[in-house]
Amino acid sequence: MQTLLKKNTVFLAALGISLAIIALGVGSPDLLDRISARLHSWIINNFGWGYLLSSLAFLVFSIFIAASRFGRLKLGLDHEKPQYSYFGWFSMLFAAGMGIGLIFWGVAEPLSHYVQPPSQISPRSGEAAAFAMQHSFFHWGLHPWAIYIVVSLAVAYFSFRRGMPPLISSCFYPLLGERIYGPLGYLIDILSVLATLFGIVTSLGLGATQITSGLASISFLPDTLSTTLGVITIVTILFMISSVTGLDKGIQILSKTNILLALLLMTFMLIVGPTVYIFNVLTTTLGGYFSSLLDMSLSSNPFQGYEWTKNWTLFYWAWWISWAPFVGLFVASISRGRTIREFILGAMLVPTLLTFLWFSVFGGAGLHLQIEGNVDIAGKVADNVSVALFQLFSYYPFSSLLTLVAVLLLMVFFITSADSATYVLAMMTSDGDLRPPNWKKITWGITVSATACILLFSGGLDALQRMSITAALPFTFIMLLLCYCLWLGMSYEWHQSSTGTEDPEQSREKELS
Amino acid sequence: MLKNFLFPLHPGIPDNMIMSMAEFIRFFEPKKVYLLLVVSGSSSRHIKWMDGIEQKMQEIGLPVERLLRYGHVPSQIVNAAKSNQSIICFLKKKKNPLKKALAGSVVSDVVRMSEEPVLIYKKNLPWQADQVLHSIMYATNFKYSTTTCIKYIQHKALKAKRLILLHVGKRAPDPTAEKKRLEAVHANLDRLVSDSRNGFEAIEKRAVVGIWVARKILSYARKNEVDLLVIGKIDAGGFFGRFTGGTTEAVYNRASCSVLIIPGGR
């Protein structure tokens, strides 16, 4: 009994804390709203600069590691080959890292910035449009992937190369030693579970409302809460089926389907949309993005438009960091057998380029309608962000079909995200077991879906989102320490190989071969 | 080894401190003790002071020889030590950090440049009646321990009631590697224990895990009230190390006890 309790400490503690917070969100949504709003604004007001510096540090660290001598090390034993093909790997990376968010914000974000840029830029001007595209690239570009890479690289290195369980706490062994198996390690893992749970609940809640909006625009279904709850129920059944079939089948097949659907939708829009305009937007924004990357990375705008930075850039950075344990662990679990250089370059460049294309196509088409077509699509988006993509489709041929494909894409992304999140949650609460028991997957799956339903009903979803962003502050410190631990681990290994000392893992490899 | 000693003289150092160190050196039965004064311009007053020191040292039976040099102080000290194969003996007094930052430190420059051992004598060593120290601590990373440092510890004049062999190492990245690392550390410490039997009543070995090595060594030395700390010279490594200095520099700058620094190349 005692062993069972010890084995499930993280599971029980995380489940208990999350249920308590959720109960607060149901019982007294106002109180949760007040607490979360106060915490959130205090953190963003006081540590915004820290998020900016840390995010840039993660980007520099990732590039430095890829270019360094450590880039040659493999995430696994030296003879191992990657478990997934490039297409499967990129598909799963993209689905876990961006997924629903990109569909949600692909049109909405550039249009929102265009209408409401920082105070020093005139709204609805050419400058505002350039700013809107550049900052959409910035918020969804290299930085989020660098944040994910730090966590996933650390987890993959310490688990696949050093033979430890794939948990965030395992990465702290060089610093904490055996204490990772005690309260300190539990605390790190519980925080990771909570950040993952709250992040995925809010993301699914928002995704479900967008699916409902899409369905309402092409069918008789009303855009109401009961439809959203129905959507969540159907999707829950589907992702539970996918989840119990395992990583190799369920998530991989769904992710590949996602990418194919997304590419199909994007190609169609590129062809029927303002193709030359889109390519001009892509080229110009790429130039602006790379030439002002450092400026944007460190710009908290204390003199002008700090509110804008707080509401967008700092929100995103905190959001990506709060998602990092989930995406980090998932990406780590699919990256065994790749070299560190291949892993960093692949995970940073390919999804980023795809994201840039996505924003150029959909954001560019939206801006084209707004600026050249004299359609106030931005005004409609400002009223309801979740309808942005469907509003855009309504001005193009086959709009119902496009909406249907987009809803399908959203549902598949929804299922993939929920599937991978329950897998990661079950793994984190099973001592890093790469094949966690199904009952834990089901428990987390039901918790995620039920929480999303309840909070949509009680109105506590925004509060929960703020709570997950609050978890990003301690997690930023954890990530900075992760970089240091990773550095210590790789330096140790490099020192051993350069001085000819035998590495225990390599001797394990010899025994295996 | 431990036959010739070089005393770089500096007028600011009180005579009683110099003589206290000379008493310590006497137990090594030195073949020669060199008094070095690096001067610039008029130096008659300093030379007169040097005469007094020389006389006092001769009175306690030290075979003293005077050296007078002109030029860059650290370079002259290093050259003189090299040509006479001497251990450089410094008396370390506390220096204002601002002054040190602006004017630099002769000791730091000499430690950095020298290929000879450097003894930094910080306070009167509490000799027992039979010329035995309370405790000596040898902090080792095993790099030069067998070839170089252990020979100094084995010297017949370096006696203490207690010898502490300390290894501070960074933890390996996983428990299996850590277990192997600790096994290797203990095997090395055992070897050093058997090599250091001479002249010590008790030998303790300690393997400590730490990232800030210098801090661990210093705290361990303070906790164990060590009289003399022996350390191999490790050059500052890494990007930040080049600015902040290496472990050796941090140890001799901040240690409250005397420190013997042994260059690895010897």
Partners of B204 in the beta sheet? B164
C-alpha distance from B247 to closest chain A C-alpha (Å)? 17
Residue A325 in contact with residue A475, Cβ under 8 Å? yes
Residues 6+ apart with CB under 8 A from A157: A73, A75, A171, A340, A486, A489, A490, B173
Q: Which chain A residues are closer than 8 Å to B172 by Cβ?
A: 174, 492
Closest CA to B127 of B26, B44, B215: B26
Which residue in A174, A178, A508 is closest to B173 by CB distance? A174
Torsion sign, CA atoms B199, B202, B208, B213 = negative
Partners of B36 in the beta sheet? B8, B67
pLDDT at residue B160, rounded to an integer? 83
Q: Which chain B residues are closer than 8 Å to A175 by Cβ?
A: 171, 211
For the stretch B197-253, pLDDT in tens is 767 888 999 999 988 888 999 999 999 989 889 988 766 555 555 555 578 888 888
> Which amino acid belongs to residue A462?
D
Question: Is B175 within 8 Å of A178 when comparing Cβ atoms?
Answer: yes
For the stretch B149-184, pLDDT in tens is 777 888 777 778 889 999 988 899 999 999 999 999
Question: Is B172 within 8 Å of A174 when comparing Cβ atoms?
Answer: yes
d(CA A357, CA A263): 10
pLDDT at residue A503, rounded to an integer? 43
For the stretch A260-305, pLDDT in tens is 989 999 999 999 999 999 999 999 999 999 999 999 999 888 777 6
Question: Is B175 within 8 Å of A164 when comparing Cβ atoms?
Answer: yes
Residue B26 neighbours by CB distance under 10 Å: 16
Among A70, A75, A158, A162, the strongest candidate for a mutation testing the B interface, having the largest count of B CBs within 10 A, is: A162
Domain coordinates in residue numbering, chain B: 4-121, 133-262
- The chain A residue lying nearest B238, using CA atoms, is A491
Residue A417 in contact with residue A232, Cβ under 8 Å? no
For the stretch B13-23, pLDDT in tens is 788 888 888 88
pTM metric for this prediction: 0.84
User: What are the residues of chain B with a beta carbon less than 8 Å away from any beta carbon of chain A?
Assistant: 170-178, 180, 209, 211
- Phi and psi, residue B38, nearest 5°: -100, 120
Q: At what angle do helices A183-218 and A9-27 cross, to 10 degrees?
A: 50
Which residue in B173, B176, B209 is closest to A492 by CB distance? B173
d(CA A188, CA B120): 45
Question: Is B170 within 8 Å of A489 when comparing Cβ atoms?
Answer: no
**Residuewise pLDDT in 10s, chain A (513 residues):** 556 666 788 889 988 988 888 788 778 878 878 888 888 888 888 888 999 999 999 999 999 999 999 999 999 988 889 988 898 899 888 887 777 788 888 999 999 999 999 988 999 999 999 999 999 999 999 999 999 999 999 999 999 999 999 999 999 999 999 999 999 999 999 988 988 888 888 877 877 887 888 888 778 888 888 888 888 888 888 888 877 776 566 678 888 888 898 999 999 999 999 999 999 999 999 999 999 999 999 988 877 767 888 888 988 898 899 889 888 988 998 999 999 999 999 999 999 999 999 999 999 999 999 998 878 888 888 777 778 888 888 888 888 888 888 888 888 888 888 888 888 899 899 888 888 888 888 888 888 888 888 877 777 677 777 777 787 888 999 999 999 999 999 998 887 776 545 443 344 344 333
Residue A468 in contact with residue A18, Cβ under 8 Å? no
Q: A residues 382-421 near B, CB within 8 Å? A: none
- The chain B residue lying nearest A487, using CA atoms, is B173
d(CA A178, CA A197): 27
Q: How many CB pairs under 8 A join A and B?
A: 44
Q: Which chain A residues are closer than 8 Å to B234 by Cβ?
A: none
- The chain B residue lying nearest A486, using CA atoms, is B173
Tell me if B4-121 shares its fold with B133-262: yes
pLDDT at residue A512, rounded to an integer? 39
pLDDT at residue A508, rounded to an integer? 39
| Angle of CA points A415, A382, A400, to nearest 5° | 50
Helix, strand, coil fractions of chain B, as percent rounded to 5: 40, 25, 30
Look up the CATH number of domain B4-121: 3.40.50.620
pLDDT at residue B244, rounded to an integer? 53
The stretches of B154-227 forming alpha helices (DSSP H) are: 175-195, 213-223
- The model's confidence at residue B147, banded by pLDDT at 50, 70 and 90, is low
The percentage of residues in chain B with a pLDDT greater than 90, rounded to a whole number, is: 15
Q: A residues 171-230 near B, CB within 8 Å? A: 173-175, 177-178
Question: Is A488 within 8 Å of B170 when comparing Cβ atoms?
Answer: yes
Closest CA to A159 of A331, A307, A300: A331
d(CA A113, CA A309): 11
Q: Output the 3-class SS for A150-171.
A: HHHHHHHHHHHHCCCCCCCHHH
User: Is A212 in a helix, a strand, or coil?
Assistant: helix
Helix, strand, coil fractions of chain A, as percent rounded to 5: 80, 0, 15
Which residue in A163, A178, A492 is closest to B170 by CB distance? A492
pLDDT at residue A502, rounded to an integer? 44
- The model's confidence at residue B130, banded by pLDDT at 50, 70 and 90, is low
C-alpha distance from B144 to closest chain A C-alpha (Å)? 14
CATH topology of domain B133-262: Rossmann fold (3.40.50)
- The chain A residue lying nearest B171, using CA atoms, is A174
Question: Is B173 within 8 Å of A162 when comparing Cβ atoms?
Answer: yes
Q: Which chain A residues are closer than 8 Å to B171 by Cβ?
A: 173-175, 177, 488
Cα A14 vs. chain centroid, distance in angstroms? 20
CB-based contact (8 Å) between A163 and chain B? yes
